[in-house]
Structure 1
Amino acid sequence: MNTFDRRTLLTVPLLGAGALASTAAAPSGRLAPSAGPSGPSRPAGRGEEALLRRWAADTWHSLDAMTVAGTGLISDNIGADLTGHSRHTSPTNIGGSLWSVLIARELGLLTPGHARNRISRTLDSLEQMEHHEPSGMFFNWYDEKDGSVLRSWPGTGDPVVPFVSSVDMGWLGAALHVVAQADPSNRRRARRLFDAMRWDVFFDREVDAQPGQTIGGFWVEDPGRDGVELLPLFNDIPGADVWYHSEHHYDTAVSEARMVTYLGIMTGQIPAGAYFTTYRTFPPEWTWPEMAPVGDWTQYEGVRVFEGAHTYRGMEIVPGWGGSMFEELMPDLFVPEAAWGPNSWGRNHPLHVRAQREHGLDEAGYGYWGFSPCSDPHAEYREYGVDALGLNPTGYFSDAAGTDWHQGETYPQGLDGVVTPHAGALALQYERDSSIENLCRIETELGAYGPGGFHDAVAVGSGVIARRHLSLDQSMILGALGNVLLDEQLHEWFATDDVAAQLRPVIEQEVFHAHG
């Protein structure tokens, strides 16, 4: 099997934000944050909209505080008191800040002029930042204070070899495409950066799964790691040789990495068949996985596909690698997957949300739900998910103890389940009422909320809260709230006529073996 989690490849510590000094004052132009936690569980009607807008305003407050005024670049994380820039950022973080500015503008949280200027400052930095010029792709870690490439890790001094991450570039690429639609004054600059990006630099055609698969990324210097080879750039892209990990491919369909495939297909750089070379489940003849799949073989775009599913609590669901919410739903912030694939994502997305809810409330008995990689309340960062919804043989677990369980057994009660609000927010488009109730209770009962919105995670058994904000997770929350409050605005910006003409016919033909 070729897949392993991207954080295994790029392992770095998430530093406690409060341990580092702030690098800049919060940019001007924001509205004052709303009041802190308030009210009983769940208002309705106008009260519900006011609640969602309060969450959006407070979330924006943390994203605003994380942004360095001089560069327009956002920190990876910040303390719950909104001080302590992390001194590192990534293409994902920068992309999240761009779409968050646009959502904040539409919600009236900053003026159109301020939004235009903030985006312009970010683009100024991107245009000047060192990057891999042959492919137009950016490295994975920069100092948000000045846009310089990180060569040593803040706080520890551990060496950092510049790496270009496919999945992280997917979010910057998606954001630049959205900016080009939503901000006329910055359209040409965003489009120029986007058009310079060669998505096929990540597309490996020399694999058994034809026509090819997406790799995890590449180094521009020798990282000194096992399994890494010096190779020419893929697909006749001119430039110096780079170092690839020959076994690191994203080969599961339910993965945040499918955004890279979408961008490659919509730009004509990756063939449509690549969408179908990833696993829905592992093939039925493989005997080592924890769970035997149900399903049938079929073919799309000349690619033979096993349309498999895992069975969980009477539902048949196409699993991801770790069973986390953002694997399932983060690309859906931009691509209207459920509408374009009513027989695939239109089935799977609501089932995944239901499964996460039933796991948290009924099976594990936590009283709360929403499991996804996040800050570890007891440490720094960790993958969380629902094990039965993942292909990973060692599992992403929903509890801090990491206790395994097996199909057919009663889930052990009283574990220290870790819920993250961004997972609950991503579920809003599929279970609005239960998602709002869950988030309300995380705020008011667990107290995982402050002036910058939801804290990143909370362990519900011990009550330990990860009192910090991650810019990625906050931008997912704001994106999800924006799609709900603004009638799928991110979908509208992303899914232009040209994009729909390229992507929709690929997505809509598939039928997942998923039902509940």
Structure 2
Amino acid sequence: MRLRSLLAAASAACLLTAFAAPAVAGGGRGEDPRPGGTGLTRADRAQLQRYAKDTWKSFDAMTDKTTGLPADNIEGDLDTASRSGYTSPTNIGAYLWSTVVAEELDLISSREAKTRLKQTLTTVAGMERHEASGMYYNWYDEATGAKLTTFPGGDPVDPFLSSVDNGWFAAALMVVKASEPSLAPHAEAILAGMDFGAFYDLDQFGGERPGMVFGGFWADPPAGTACPGTLADGTEVQFTCHHYDILNSEPRIVTYIGIARGQIPAEAYFATSRTFPASCDWSWLETRPVGEMQNYLGIDVFEGAFPYRGMNIVPTWGGTMFEELMPDLFVPEATWGPKSWGVNHPLAVRAQIEHGMDQAGYGYWGFSPASDPFANYREYGVDEIGMNPEGYYSDNEKTNVDKGYDGCREATNPLPGAPEPTFGDGVVTAHAGFLALPYAPREAMDNLAGIKNTLQAYGPGGFYDSVAVRSNTQAQRYLSLDQGIVMGVLGNVLGKDMLKTAFSTGAVEATVRPLIAMEEFGSGYADGREVNP
């Protein structure tokens, strides 16, 4: 495949059963947590190859044979009649990069990969998009490519242009462009029309400091709340009334791409917060951050972190693995930022492991938005390393941890001197465990083996989307996004960082790497130990 040359050149059914949790270690296994050292045995790699083979089957079943568009989800038996009837730019992007990975791992031939990619790009090129921005709407019919104004169930859709969804789609186009030269013109033709500056709020602070990225906009007034505005060419749109205002969340992929393509100023990387400042003005947070002010490119940045079990961690919004590590599938953040992401990513993984194994005692770990085993879809996370005061919880019971805001607000749960809360039916998702592979390979392999072999939360398309571990209630469903995360991790782990190489060379490295390299987060072990000694 072309990518091999590039690398060489670069060097909802439920299963209810009783079970006993496996003995999955919480640490001390001697693995190398750094991206450059996989810490995997030959048997591990063979097992990961089998996981990839099964995961790819779900994409084959989800994808319409005429349009080359994947459904958003499919039931666990891979019956094509159970396709969701809708898809999104993120889903399409996940299928594109997963196809590149499938070829690299010899799951499909080069000819089949090229045919699949060309079919999808051809369909996408003909799909309706917002003319002024060149961006794609959030929902389409995967069988026709038509923009949806009504979901298959009859609920109305206000056509929306999501910044982060278009970001993941653009990331996939950049991967295709680098890894399949014969299709590079097709991918670039689509990319060339996408202006990420349309999502950037240049005047957010009256020009006194860089602005942030909107959640997105509607071309026409929606049924709900919106904030009217105009694009650079004067086109009137209806923006979301919020910006993505913290760095450690998945929308940073939009900033990376916008900077690399010259559509968002480099300074925007430092416009978002690591945490909000440590003052009583922010006491609605469940934890008071520690840290100090630094200045980068003339911008004051509070290098805040949340204390958690002897670690100081730059939090995500919801304490999820997806927010922390999905951008790291494409941008070698830990390598480019050894004093920022290179410290925080391993600690965030460690926090997820310790929460699942020690604090909550689930016997498993890996918390991220996924199918809800008891309903449809829900955000799951480690509450104490998330900024959301309402919490992304790790269990079905939504057990909250609020230790108060020191000097400003008393704790609510647990109360001072009280024991830790008792956690209920913890919900883990395999894609979160896969994301941890570069940073805790032995523990990730053991965790995944327990989910597969003990819980048996595994079907013909690989790991089911989530499982509540105490009751073993399974969400027997596959989601394009989550399966794409699994394929992306496996491409990097088994294919020598193939997605990172394809995405991050050229303009991305030239513009983004210097920004990441200059920063030092406030994260680390509280006792001063090195994260990667």
- Give secondary structure in 2 for the equivalent of 1:243: strand
Residue 168 of structure 1 pairs with residue 165 of structure 2: yes
Structure 1 residue identity aligned to 2:319: G
Counterpart CA distance in 2 for 1:410 and 1:123 is: 55
Structure 2 residue identity aligned to 1:446: L
Counterpart CA distance in 1 for 2:218 and 2:118 is: 29
Of 413-422 and 439-448, the range deviating more from structure 2: 413-422
Partner of 1:447: 456
Residue 96 of structure 1 pairs with residue 99 of structure 2: no
Q: How big is the shift at 1:206?
A: 2.2
Structure 2 residue identity aligned to 1:244: F
Counterpart CA distance in 2 for 1:69 and 1:198 is: 30
Partner of 2:42: 46
Of 200, 208, 211 in structure 1, the residue corresponding to residue 197 of structure 2 is: 200
Percent identity over the alignment?
A: 53
Would the alpha carbon gap of residues 202 and 296 (structure 1) be closer, same or farther in structure 2, given more than 3 Å must change? Answer: same
- Give secondary structure in 2 for the equivalent of 1:476: helix
Q: How big is the shift at 1:210?
A: 2.2
Q: How big is the shift at 1:414?
A: 5.3
Would the alpha carbon gap of residues 275 and 41 (structure 1) be closer, same or farther in structure 2, given more than 3 Å must change? Answer: closer
- Give secondary structure in 1 for the equivalent of 2:524: coil
Residue 231 of structure 1 pairs with residue 225 of structure 2: no
Q: How big is the shift at 1:182?
A: 0.3
Q: TM-score scaled to structure 2, two decimals? A: 0.87
- 1:192-249 deviations in whole A, cap 9, x for unaligned? 11121101000012223821100000001110323x133211xx235x311112x310
Partner of 1:149: 147
Partner of 2:236: 241
Partner of 1:303: 299
Of 236, 242, 254 in structure 1, the residue corresponding to residue 248 of structure 2 is: 254
Contact 1:78 1:85 survives alignment (8 Å): yes
Partner of 1:21: none
Contact 2:13 2:474 survives alignment (8 Å): no
Of 523, 527, 530 in structure 2, the residue corresponding to residue 514 of structure 1 is: 523
- Give secondary structure in 2 for the equivalent of 1:423: helix
Of 336, 360, 363 in structure 2, the residue corresponding to residue 364 of structure 1 is: 360
Contact 1:89 1:143 survives alignment (8 Å): yes
Which gives a bigger RCO, structure 1 or 2 (Cα 8 Å, sep 6+)? 2
Contact 1:272 1:301 survives alignment (8 Å): no
Partner of 1:479: 488
- Give secondary structure in 2 for the equivalent of 1:204: coil
Contact 1:75 1:86 survives alignment (8 Å): yes
- 1:452-502 deviations in whole A, cap 9, x for unaligned? 000000001111000000010000001001111111111110111322111
Partner of 1:416: 425
- Give secondary structure in 1 for the equivalent of 2:322: helix
Of 237, 260, 267 in structure 2, the residue corresponding to residue 266 of structure 1 is: 260
Residue 178 of structure 1 pairs with residue 175 of structure 2: yes
Contact 1:363 1:410 survives alignment (8 Å): no
Counterpart CA distance in 2 for 1:44 and 1:295 is: 35
Would the alpha carbon gap of residues 116 and 306 (structure 1) be closer, same or farther in structure 2, given more than 3 Å must change? Answer: same
Counterpart CA distance in 2 for 1:257 and 1:354 is: 23
Contact 1:60 1:104 survives alignment (8 Å): yes
- Give secondary structure in 1 for the equivalent of 2:295: strand
Q: How big is the shift at 1:287?
A: 2.7
Would the alpha carbon gap of residues 204 and 411 (structure 1) be closer, same or farther in structure 2, given more than 3 Å must change? Answer: same
- Give secondary structure in 2 for the equivalent of 1:428: coil
Q: TM-score scaled to structure 1, two decimals? A: 0.90
Contact 1:455 1:468 survives alignment (8 Å): yes
- Give secondary structure in 1 for the equivalent of 2:437: helix
Partner of 1:462: 471
Of 216-225 and 404-413, the range deviating more from structure 2: 404-413
Counterpart CA distance in 2 for 1:430 and 1:372 is: 17
Residue 134 of structure 1 pairs with residue 132 of structure 2: yes
Superposition CA RMSD, Å:
1.7
Residue 336 of structure 1 pairs with residue 335 of structure 2: no
Q: How big is the shift at 1:17?
A: 10
Counterpart CA distance in 2 for 1:307 and 1:301 is: 15
Residue 217 of structure 1 pairs with residue 216 of structure 2: yes
Counterpart CA distance in 1 for 2:50 and 2:504 is: 28
Q: Where do residues 392-411 of structure 1 align in structure 2 (5 Å cutoff)?
A: 392-407=388-403, 410-411=419-420
Counterpart CA distance in 2 for 1:410 and 1:144 is: 50
Q: Which runs of 5+ in 1 are unaligned?
A: 1-15, 19-39
Q: Which runs of 5+ in 2 are unaligned?
A: 1-11, 15-22, 26-38, 404-413, 526-533
Contact 1:309 1:319 survives alignment (8 Å): yes
